[in-house]
């Protein structure tokens, strides 16, 4: 049931689609999942909690530890916020 929940209210994607991107479409990174396979990063502004939820969902399928998943989420979100600020876009 957790995988059926929407990641963001602003885009029609669920955690199960992120897992599918890794298990069936050979996505190997959080960035690949969020920008290419399940284009949430293009359609919605994601907060750190949403990015972490995706990272935690795909972690077991990529062989990541809980700590590694948290690091990946933190790095991805920090990079996204830096890009948004540089472009003059309000950040979450």
Q: pLDDT class for 88, splitting at 50, 70, 90?
A: confident
Residue 25 lies in a domain: yes
For residue 37, give both structure tokens.
């396979």
Q: How many domains does the chain have?
A: 1
Residue 92 lies in a domain: no
How do residues 17-48 score in pLDDT, each as one tens digit? 999 999 999 999 999 999 999 999 888 889 99
Q: Side-chain half-sphere of 83: how many Cα atoms within 13 Å?
A: 9
Q: How large a percentage of the chain has pLDDT more than 90?
A: 73
Residue 49 lies in a domain: yes
How do residues 69-87 score in pLDDT, each as one tens digit? 999 999 999 988 877 666 6
How do residues 1-15 score in pLDDT, each as one tens digit? 589 989 999 999 999
Q: Side-chain half-sphere of 52: how many Cα atoms within 13 Å?
A: 9
Task: Supply the range of the domain harboring residue 14.
Answer: 2-86
């Amino acid at each position: 049931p957790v995988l059926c929940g929407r990641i963001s209210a602003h885009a029609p994607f669920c955690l199960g689609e992120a897992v599918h991107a890794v298990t069936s479409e050979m996505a190997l990174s959080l960035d690949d999942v969020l920008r290419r396979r399940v284009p949430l990063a293009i359609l919605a502004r994601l907060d750190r909690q949403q990015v972490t939820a995706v990272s935690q969902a795909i972690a077991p399928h990529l062989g990541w530890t809980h700590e590694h998943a948290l690091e990946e989420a933190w790095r991805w979100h920090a990079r996204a916020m830096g890009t948004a600020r540089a472009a003059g876009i309000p950040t979450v």
